[in-house]
Amino acid sequence: MIDWSFGGGIFIAKYNYWISILLMLIGFYAMIAKGNLLKKVIGLNIFQTAIILFFVSLGDATLGSWGKGVTEPIVKGTLPWAAGGIVEHGVVYANPLPHVLMLTAIVVGAATTAVALALIIRMYEEYGTIEEDEIIEKERELGV
Amino acid sequence: MNGKKGKIWEENVIIETITRLMVPFIQIYALYVMVGTEGAGGGFQGGVVFAASIVLFTVTFGISKGRKRLPESWNAALNSLGLYLYAGVGLLCIVLSLGAAQYLNYAALPLSQIMSPAHTRALMISDVVEVGIGLTVMSIFASIFFDLAWKGEEKKNKDKNKGDKEVQE
Amino acid sequence: MKPISAMALLFVVFLGALFIYVSEDIPDFGDPYSPANRYVNLHISIDAGADGLEDSLRAGVIPEELSSRIKARGFPSPSETEYSVEEVEGGWDVLIAKEELLYPEPEKYYFLKEEEEGNKLVVYRYSIPVRWEEKCEEEIGVPNMVTAGLADYRGYDTLGETTVIFTAGIAVILLLRRRGKL
């Protein structure tokens, strides 16, 4: 009925990109349009998760191994100095480089969220509210 | 605190029993994940699972009991111990090879004359570096959780602090 | 509830249009020969119909024209260092010894492939994970490639990142410990 390969195979062959774009735009909208400070922090987290998912999905190699399956980047076989260490050949591995880089990104995201939450707690104790509009009004009343 | 009705949390027998059973097994699994050489895993992943067990215990039993299990002095000491291990091993590689090797080149230790250089590298990675990273990550996440969840106490006596302006929080 | 803000929606739609515009350069999902996984097309090619090209490649000599063109683009040229040519299925591997401080050894760097259209010989360049997957077992000995890469090939990144998580913990302590005694 519908020829799904229009546009040179952009829409079906790259569906990981479109899912990640959708999540990214949702997180970005939450970051700039909502007034509550806590919702902005959650939007930041959604944004980071979308980018990490996209980057890890770039290292997949499923199309090159029909019938065998692509494995995670762990060498099949035992350690070479143990007795009888045999390493299998001809196995297709996924790319280990995106996993390494994204481990660092996940931890940096967690650290950023922790400091942002601590700042929100301090702001609540100072101003008594978390809404962005009321904080701006109180700052204007103070005469800054 | 005066105007609130009811208790802050209630005691629940099922949750307390299950938590008391599960926390040691979660910690053993975290140690298995931390040595990430034979299967999936690594320092960060194992440290986070370990911190999850501490958070589970604190959520079930209250924050003062959780703080008694992990005192503040131990927490502050474990914060930096992992980082000392990692950076220290790197410096050890320069010192023990008398300046011939670079920073963090594990094959330059004198251990590589007994075993092969690849075996030395695997030993240092899995036993020293990953455990160090896991200790730091576990301690930092537990410390962040305790800081975010603690609420300030009220100081009831006005007579003691005469010179201070802010007495009650 | 607050009404939906129009400026934010406009910005988001504009960003979405930008993402759709750049979407044709993204590799397919699961492609094993994408630039991130295997090799990158350098678009340097010579005519494959010349006499004696295959014989000279089998003898292990790269023609001068190809080396000069590779050098003109800015990549390390094979004729200046020691190199060797091996034949694999689909093309030829070129191993060159890049300039390093201690003990340079020849490693897989270029891949010469025969294209049917136009009868050309195109030069590709291998990516880093190819060497990673082949040499991980004998150089480090840890079966898990991700942990081996984190702690040995990319050890400086992990050291900096442990410092980041440590600094975040210290920052939370500095912000929140004035409210009472823990």
For residue B88, the model assigns a pLDDT of: 92
pLDDT of A94 > 60? The answer is: yes
* DSSP per-residue letters across C106-136: -EEEEEEEEETTTTEEEEEEE-HHHHHHHHH
Please tell me which residue of chain B has the smallest CA distance to A73. B40
The residue among B30, B57, B56, B55 whose CA lies nearest residue B45 is: B30
- Residue C160 vs residue B9, higher pLDDT: C160
Q: Does C23 touch chain A (CB under 8 A)?
A: yes
pLDDT score of B1: 47
**Closest to A108 (Cα-Cα) out of C28, B137, C118:** B137
In a 10 Å sphere around its CB, with 0-12 CB exposed, 13-18 middle and 19+ buried, how is residue B12 labelled?
exposed
Contact of C146 with chain A, judged by CB distance below 8 Å, is answered with yes
Is the pLDDT at B7 greater than 80, yes or no? Answer: no
Residues of B in contact with A107 (CB under 8 A): 44, 137
Chain C residues in contact with B106 by the CB 8 A cut-off are 152
Share of chain C above pLDDT 70, in %: 92
The alpha carbon of residue B24 is apart from the nearest alpha carbon of chain C, in Å, by 25
Which residues of C are less than 8 Å from A75 in CB distance? 136-137, 143-145
Mean predicted confidence (pLDDT) in A36-54 = 95
Size of interface B-C (CB pairs under 8 A): 105
Identify from B35, B120, B144 which residue to disrupt to test chain A contact, counting A C-beta atoms within 10 A and taking the largest count: B144
CB neighbours of residue B135 within 10 Å:
24
Please state the φ and ψ torsions of residue C76, each to the nearest 5 degrees: -65, 130
Q: Is the pLDDT confidence value at C158 over 60?
A: yes
pTM: 0.84
Tell me whether residues C15 and A103 touch, CB distance under 8 A. Answer: no
Residue C114 near residue C48 (C-beta atoms within 8 A): yes
Instruction: Verify whether the Cβ–Cβ distance B39 to C144 is below 8 Å.
Output: yes
Structure confidence by residue, pLDDT tens digits, C63-97: 777 888 888 888 887 777 777 787 777 788 888 87
Task: Give A50: exposed, middle or buried? Use CB within 10 Å, 0-12, 13-18, 19+.
Answer: buried
Confidence of residue C123 (pLDDT cuts 50, 70, 90): confident
Mean pLDDT of chain A: 82
More reliable by pLDDT, B113 or A9:
B113
At C67, give phi and psi (nearest 5°). Answer: -65, -40
Distance CA B117, CA B113 (A): 8
What local confidence, expressed as pLDDT, does residue A8 receive? 61
Segment holding C96, helix H or strand E? strand C91-96
CB contact under 8 A, A121 and B148: yes
Q: Is residue C100 within 8 angstroms of chain B, CB to CB?
A: no
Phi, psi at C47, each rounded to 5°:
-70, 130
Rounded alpha-carbon distances, angstroms, from residue B90 to B85, B129, C84, C151: 9, 10, 36, 12
Query: What was the pLDDT predicted at A84?
Result: 46
pLDDT of B163 reads 46
Q: Is B144 on the interface with A (CB under 8 A)?
A: yes
DSSP states of B27-79: HHHHHHHHS-SSSS--HHHHHHHHHHHHHHHHHHH-HHHHHHHS-HHHHHHHH
- Measure Cα distances from B94 to B126, C125, C149, C161 in Å: 20, 35, 21, 22
What pLDDT, on a 0 to 100 scale, did the predictor assign at position B4?
56
Q: What is the mean pLDDT of chain C?
A: 82
Task: Identify the residue whose tokens are 């950023």.
Answer: A112
Among the ranges given (A98-112, B85-99, B149-163, C159-173), the one the predictor scored with the smallest mean pLDDT: B149-163
Query: Distance between alpha carbon A90 and the CA centroid of its chain, in Å?
Result: 31
Q: Distance (Å, rounded) from C-alpha A124 to C-alpha A117?
A: 11
Residue of A nearest to C10 (CA): A29
Residue among C114, C31, B108, B10 at smallest CA distance from A61: C31
d(CA B24, CA B73): 22
Who has greater pLDDT, C34 or A116? A116
Query: For position A90, what pLDDT does the model report?
Result: 67
Helix (H, G, I), strand (E, B) or coil at C167: helix
- Nearest CB to C166: which of B42, B79, B122? B79
pLDDT of A61 reads: 79
**What sign does the CA torsion over C29, C32, C33, C36 have?**
positive
pLDDT at B45 over 90: yes
Q: Which comes out higher in pLDDT, residue A73 or C116? A: C116
* C chain contacts of residue B133, beta-carbon cutoff 8 Å: 158, 162
Q: Which of C7, C26, C134 to mutate to test binding with chain A, by most A CBs within 10 Å of its CB?
A: C26
Q: How confident is the model at residue A70 (pLDDT cuts 50, 70, 90)?
A: low
Inform me whether the C-beta atom of residue A60 falls under 8 Å from chain C C-beta atoms.
yes
The pLDDT of residue A41 is 96
The residues near A35 (Cβ < 8 Å, ≥ 6 apart) are A131, A132, A133, C2
Cβ contact A81–B148 (<8 Å): no
| pLDDT score, position A3 | 56
C82 in Cβ contact with C97 (< 8 Å):
yes
Give the pLDDT of residue A81. 45
Chain C hits for A111, CB-CB cut-off 8 Å, are 164-165, 167-168
The distance of C167 to chain B (nearest Cα, Å) reads 9
**Chain C residues touching A125 at Cβ < 8 A:** 179
Q: Which one has a higher pLDDT value, B112 or C174?
A: C174
Helix, strand and coil in chain C, % to nearest 5 = 45, 20, 35
pLDDT at A91 over 80: no
Residue of chain B whose alpha carbon sits nearest to that of A106 = B44
Out of A72, A81, A117, name the one closest to residue B119 (CB): A81
Instruction: State whether the Cα torsion B81-B142-B20-B71 is positive or negative.
Output: positive
| Nearest C-alpha in A relative to C175 | A118
B neighbours by CB contacts (3+ pairs under 8 Å): A, C
Report the residue from C138, C180, C182 with minimal CB separation from B169: C180
**Is C133 an 8 Å CB contact of chain A?**
yes
Q: Which residue has the higher pLDDT, A75 or C39?
A: C39
What is the rounded CA–CA span in Å between residue B38 and residue C141? Answer: 10
Are residues B48 and B41 in contact, defined by beta-carbon separation less than 8 angstroms? no
Count, residues in chain A: 144
Residues counted in chain C: 182
Q: How far is A118 from chain B (nearest CA, A)?
A: 7
